[in-house]
Structure 1
Amino acid sequence: MEKELEQFLGDCRRQQFSAKEMHTICQPLIWQIRRAKAQRWLLLLLPMLLVYLLWMYCDAFAWWLSAFGRLLLVQLLPYWDWTPHYQGKCLIPRGEQRVAEQGPALGRHETLWENCVLCESLEGIATTSNVSYSMLESKFLERGLPVIVTDVDLETDLDSLLWLINESAPELISSEPCDVSSNLLLRKLFSVDAALQKIRSLQAQPSTRWHLQLRNCQRRAVKASRLYFKRPYFYPLHLEPYYSSWLLISHQQQRPQAEIDVRGLIFVQQLSGHFELELRPKNPCNDGLCPSLRMRLNAGEALVFSTDLWLLSYGLQKPNPKQSSIASIFEVDWQL
């Protein structure tokens, strides 16, 4: 094709065509060449765009792509040791830098004393609605401030929740939960399946008081919980999926305030009824510097906060006689 084109241009030059005539003669050919280039770029970019869209909007595809990438990295280990870069923040060395001395690791009830200035003038907990995650992050989370989102509207009742678990989450039913608290069964007899069967049997006795608290800590149970615990509308695609989930249910039973061990970025969603929540500042901010925050979380609302500064407890003083109090909690490994 190139030889024929060069021969054609040579013939035109010998016949002394003007530049305007050459442009008129070659215009269809130029258009075809540009069209062929555009098609090549389109064929190259379309698959990349398709992979990107699937990765952004399809959790299953993103998981498989991530798994394939890890397998590929393992195969590359004999040829390139990438492990020193795994936890690194920068792939390109920037020369010698002074490294600040790190103090001892903080305990679960401790925070840096510099964080106390973030909450020392706090008078209450803010509420918001129709909000984006970027706004939550910049206005509240980066400053260590908790916030209640009032228009989450992820409500359900006990019957619907039990049906969803039974139909869509067999891995959860067969899993071994942790942080269990319940008056349904002796701890040595407790299993998720046995607890759910006990709850179904008690539905014929609506006046019977009971409660259930469990945390899904096994990977397969956490993945299964994503099938019946919907994310709030402001949960962004770029944020990691939650690594642990909690289910809190109290039926006609008062519950004293009890602290639960949650870590990271926390989403507490009230699905039915209400719970009374309390956020207490960590040491040393709890020594008269920052206030404890008490709130009532109603159905359709969500509390979002970071455990860098706060400890969480929940309870129930006045149960609703017409409905169970149900809440879910997501723990997310939050890295800015």
Structure 2
Amino acid sequence: MPSEGGRQTEAESLAALDQDLLSLHQYCSQSNLSPEEVREALRPLVSAVQWSGTIDTARSVTRCIVAVLLICAAVILLMGTTPFQEVATSVGQQAHTYARIAMVKVLPYWDWSTLCDLRCLIENPLYQNPNPPERSADNCHTCESMSELDRLSNVSVAAFTENYMRLDRPIIVTDATKSWPAFGEPAFDRHRLVEMFKDDKLADSHPCELLTNLMVRRNMKLLLDKMSNPVIKKWFAHWENCDKMVAKALRTMYRRPYFLPTTVDTTESNWVLVSSNYTGSVYKMLPVVNDLVWMAQVQGTSLVRLAARDPCTTVCPEIVDTLRPGEILVFTDFMWMMDYMPGHGTDNVAIGTAGFWE
């Protein structure tokens, strides 16, 4: 019976629902309906119950999230108070004490004391000691019979790492620049290079390691003016972009070579080598010092020369080769020094950078 006021209590509503379900079950049994027919007839009711359960679950999750956010907000407010800081300090000291006791208990089963001497927990397979051994005559065996550079395409990371980088063997890769913006339209020639660097934000930079016959020292604006002056002919210049903004602008023209292993990080700075109608016959030293160096020819050609470092200079022959558009020269600084000569009578543009591993 309904309670006073005409409204059913929760217990009365549940009892009435239970009676209705019992009556429905008796009706289905007396009607000789198959289980499939009963399931189909009750599908709307079952769906409604499942939907109601989903809503209840969502509401519960929402309440938990709100409660966690409120607790976090309260903790943040309390962190600025002196009592909370004192409690946090006390708890931290106790946790530290218990952690040290646990470490002592574990020591007979696992000697963790050697971890204190490790520079990192995950070993880099290309890592070298910060004070590597000096080159010896044994290192010269890898280059004493080298007379030319291998020119390869479709080089896998494993093949490059094991057959060239680990053995300090230089290589020219011919297909690593196909997707570079520098080879799109318009091409990244010396005119486009000058236009890029004449941007107000880039022209105020000061190039590092600048070498040129234009009689300019660390003045990018003056250098660009002379490079774009049609009266001045037969010039060359190369420099390092030490300014992060300038180096980032140049990086939009190239991509990381696909054959480099992920353990090699590229440097933030990069190099520009540019010339026009230059006919000099003296090689220009490029003072790039890092674990790995690569140079990509974008326009024209460059005559590159690799010489082994001491004590291999008298054992290993110099290697001279021509770098053509789209090709990348890669070598390790541990064994090799590189200088170059711009292609004669043409416009030439090359990009260089370096990599390292820790």
Tell me if both proteins adopt one fold, taking TM over 0.5 as the criterion.
yes
For residues 268-293 of structure 1, give each alpha carbon's deviation from its aligned partner in whole angstroms, at most 9, with x where no partner exists. 001111111111111112231x2221
Q: Which stretch of the first structure deviates more once superposed, 266-275 or 114-123?
A: 114-123
Whether 1:295 and 2:321 are equivalent positions in the alignment is yes
Structure-2 change in CA distance of 1:285 and 1:330 (3 Å): same
Distance (whole Å) between structure 1 residues aligned to residue 174 and residue 219 of structure 2 = 34
Equivalent positions of 1:119-268 (< 5 A) are 119-151=143-175, 152-153=177-178, 154-155=182-183, 156-167=188-199, 170-187=200-217, 190-201=218-229, 203=230, 208-227=233-252, 229-231=253-255, 233-234=257-258, 238=262, 239-253=264-278, 254-262=280-288, 263-268=290-295
The Cα of 1:310 is off from its aligned counterpart by: 0.8
Q: Which residue of 1 aligns with 2:356?
A: 333
Match of 2:121 among 85, 90, 111: 90
The Cα of 1:303 is off from its aligned counterpart by: 0.4
Q: Which residue of 1 aligns with 2:8?
A: none
Distance (whole Å) between structure 1 residues aligned to residue 122 and residue 250 of structure 2 = 36
Check whether the contact 1:243–1:332 (CA below 8 A) recurs between aligned residues. no
Match of 1:280 among 304, 307, 313: 307
Percent identical across equivalent pairs?
24
Check whether the contact 1:171–1:224 (CA below 8 A) recurs between aligned residues. no
Check whether the contact 1:113–1:285 (CA below 8 A) recurs between aligned residues. yes
Unaligned runs of 5+ in 2: 1-17, 23-38, 58-91, 93-114, 124-128
Check whether the contact 1:272–1:299 (CA below 8 A) recurs between aligned residues. yes
Distance (whole Å) between structure 1 residues aligned to residue 53 and residue 284 of structure 2 = 73
For residues 67-97 of structure 1, give each alpha carbon's deviation from its aligned partner in whole angstroms, at most 9, with x where no partner exists. xxxxxxxxxxxx9xxxx979813379xxxxx
Local SS of the residue matching 1:287: coil
* Moved segments of 4+, more than 6 Å: 27-30, 84-87, 102-106
Whether 1:308 and 2:308 are equivalent positions in the alignment is no
Local SS of the residue matching 1:140: helix
Unaligned runs of 5+ in 1: 1-10, 16-23, 38-78, 93-101
RMSD: 4.3
Check whether the contact 1:118–1:144 (CA below 8 A) recurs between aligned residues. yes
Distance (whole Å) between structure 2 residues aligned to residue 276 and residue 85 of structure 1 = 49
What TM-score do the two structures reach when normalised by structure 1? 0.61
Amino acid at match of 1:162: V
Check whether the contact 2:274–2:349 (CA below 8 A) recurs between aligned residues. yes
How many residue pairs get aligned? The number is: 256
Amino acid at match of 1:199: M
Distance (whole Å) between structure 1 residues aligned to residue 138 and residue 130 of structure 2 = 14
